[in-house]
Amino acid sequence: MTVLTLRSLDAGYGGVPVVRDLDLEVDSGEVLALLGPNGAGKTTILSTISGLIPSVAGEVEIMGEPTDSRHPFRVAQRGVAHVAEDRSLFFGLTVMENLQVVPGLPRSERREAYDRALELFPPLRPLVARPAGLLSGGEQQMLAMARAIITNPRLLLVDEMSLGLAPVIVQQMMPVVRSVADTGAAVIIVEQHVHLALDLADRAVVIANGRVAVEGPAAELRGDLSRIQEGYFG
């Protein structure tokens, strides 16, 4: 089942496209790695999908229905969870309070959802009463991921999960992303560490100069990294 469809998408800021004429589909259970040099438009694509910035032209569809880019909360209600590069946590709230501000969870399901999130990220369990601002970078990223996963998203967007983190922390988190896809969600990851992304993903797309430069199965691209390099550097 196709979860996300981008059709002739132009995305950017102030009506000026950074990404042009992008066609893309992501299916249920699939992890797509969105790769490319800094400034290529990867974060812009995620922000447009989640409604944080309006599209310049083209269409964004979730489960075959257009999204309402004027109201990001409506995009979230459609099952889109976005882990932003800055993590977007409430630093003055505790770990548990950050999990509790997630909207849309029926009261009867909340305890089970919190327990599931803490099972995925055991280091958070003893920290539930600690303000998010006092967590380490790795703990903050775990909390941001837990808060997204707790919603049982249809589409999970993860922007630069490994940014500033120790490799051991990243290696703990990658299987969690895979487990989200295994439940039937579609996942898009933006990641500068190409090898990590290709090891996790089913498929990869390289964005350069605002357009798709290379795309293909992750396994094939792992075996021919020269194609990735060509996409980055032309």
Per-residue pLDDT tens digits of the chain, which is 234 residues long = 999 999 999 999 998 999 999 999 999 999 999 999 988 999 999 999 999 999 999 999 999 999 976 788 889 989 999 999 888 899 999 999 999 887 666 677 778 888 888 898 999 999 999 999 999 999 999 999 999 998 889 999 999 888 888 888 888 888 899 999 999 999 999 988 898 899 999 999 999 988 999 999 999 999 988 888 888 876
Q: Give the CA-trace dihedral at 193, 174, 140, 103, to 10 degrees.
A: 120
* Domain presence at residue 84: no
Are residues 161 and 74 part of one domain?
yes
Show the domain range for 163: 2-79+156-233
Query: Is residue 63 domain-shared with residue 124, that is, in the same domain?
Result: no
What lies within 8 Å, CB to CB, of 132 at 6+ separation is 89, 90, 91, 92, 93, 94, 95, 98, 140, 143
Q: Output phi, psi for 38, to 5 deg.
A: -60, 135
Does one domain contain both 100 and 210?
no
Residue that terminates a domain, selected from 102, 137, 152: 152
Token duo for residue 134: 């006092």
Q: Is residue 128 part of a domain?
A: yes
Within 36-154, strands assigned E span 55-62, 65-66, 80-83
* Residue that has been written with the tokens 């309402």 in this structure: 68
Angle between helices 107-120 and 137-149 (to 10 degrees): 140
- The answer to whether residue 98 is domain-embedded is yes
Domain final position from 134, 152, 170:
152
* Domain of residue 209, CATH code: 3.40.50.300
Q: Of 152, 168, 193, which one is at a domain's C-terminal end?
A: 152
Q: How many domains does the chain have?
A: 2
